[in-house]
Amino acid sequence: MKLLEYEAKELFNKFSIPIPKGNIVTDPESAKKFAEGLAKPVVIKAQIPIGGRGKAGGIQFADTPSQAYSLTQQMLNQKIRELSVNKILIEEKILIKKEIYLGITVDRNSKSYVILTSSSGGMDIEEIAVKQPEKIVKKIIEPILGLRSYHAIYIAKHLGYSSKKMIDLASIILKLYKVAFETDAELAEINPLVETEEGFIATDARLNVDNNSLYRHKDLEERLFESYEGELTQREIEARKMDLVYVELDGDIGIIGNGAGLTMATLDTVMLNGGKPGNFLDLGGGANPDRISKAIEFVLMDEHIKSLFVNVLGGITRCDDTAKGIVNAQKKLGINKPIVVRMMGTNEEEGKKILSDAGINSYDTMEAAADRIVKLTEGI
């Protein structure tokens, strides 16, 4: 889940990471009043869950309250990369002495957090890695030991700092690690972390939390579906609410399987036979008749779907349960879209009989089933 900048900064503030004075607004008058109270130049920032806002016009500077009003009004009435701007973060403009990149993410190879820092802040870390790799300091965090003070001091020193500034920067590095660790973040990033005459300030913030950990963060779980805006289609969001692993595609043949690998193979086989998959839906393991029925209803109710191919290898998910779910969904919906099933494994014969009694075709191989569903769909 991608938190918006102001949400990430609220968490940073709880962990005592310095942030600019700011306020979230939804109308230009509020922006003007905040700028008047601040009595200094401000930054107007669109709150959308994507990077690169600045290049797309989502970050503007205002020297006066009237400019803050007009820029906020303008930004709230536009779309940035197809996303509507509904919230604006207005902050004090910081006098920058130097910019630093500071990020913590997951290193899949070492199965650990890794700290990436650079003396060239404000740029994409990927761009720095290509053009100026010598400016990146990388530190794998050993999971059991965690990040220690001497690690953070080592990093700050290698960024060119000493004395009090080295200690101050090390303190922020430790705090950012604590944010990442305690929120189960996949990415915690400050870019740029700005050095000023008074100290260091996080002028931007990114925090991506692992969705699988949200049961531990009820305060974040409540806004999970808001974070999908702009990333998922409306049907994909609906599927997430129903706890279905679903991806919308542009074809007309519905695809349901149990297991990501099998479902992907089903898509490929349908395409090899000349068909166009309309979705990817993975039931996962141990699906009961109710879950199977719910998945089938969801796919068949899509007006773009002309037919349905269900491909199940019965193990924990039993074939008779699969058949019951298919038949129940068909009866409930009363939709006569063609359904072809390939299933084998646990309680296979019982499942095939249930389907046969309901007049639904079942096949022993994925290739034969794919060929049949494509031909049926072509005739619609």
Q: Give domain limits for the chain.
A: 21-92, 98-221, 234-378
Which homologous superfamily is 234-378 in?
Answer: Succinyl-CoA synthetase domains (3.40.50.261)
Q: Whole-prediction pTM value?
A: 0.70
Residue 30: its H or E element: helix 28-38
* Catalytic site residue from 186, 189, 195, 348: 189
Residue among 350, 365, 351, 354 at smallest CA distance from 309: 365
What is the average per-residue pLDDT within 293-304? 95
What is the average per-residue pLDDT within 252-267? 96
pLDDT in tens, 328-360: 999 999 878 999 999 999 999 999 999 999 999
Contact 68, 62 (CB under 8 A): yes
Residue 193: its H or E element: strand 185-195
pLDDT at 227: 62
238 among known catalytic residues: no
What is the average per-residue pLDDT within 195-207? 96
pLDDT at 211: 83
Mean pLDDT value across the chain: 92
User: Bridge-partner residues for 255, per DSSP?
Assistant: 309
CA torsion sign, 68 to 69 to 74 to 77? positive
303 among known catalytic residues: no
* Catalytic site residue from 6, 69, 101, 363: 101
**Per-residue tokens: 273:** 């036979």
> Is the pLDDT at 232 greater than 90, yes or no?
no
Rounded Cα–Cα distance for residues 24 and 310 (Å): 47
What is the average per-residue pLDDT within 297-312? 96
At 188, is the pLDDT very low, low, confident or very high (cuts 50, 70, 90)? Answer: very high
Which homologous superfamily is 98-221 in?
Answer: ATP-grasp fold, B domain (3.30.470.20)
Instruction: List the CATH code of the domain at 21-92.
Output: 3.30.1490.20
Contact 338, 272 (CB under 8 A): no
Name which of 31-35, 74-78, 249-253, 320-324 the model is least confident about: 74-78
> Is the pLDDT at 120 greater than 90, yes or no?
no
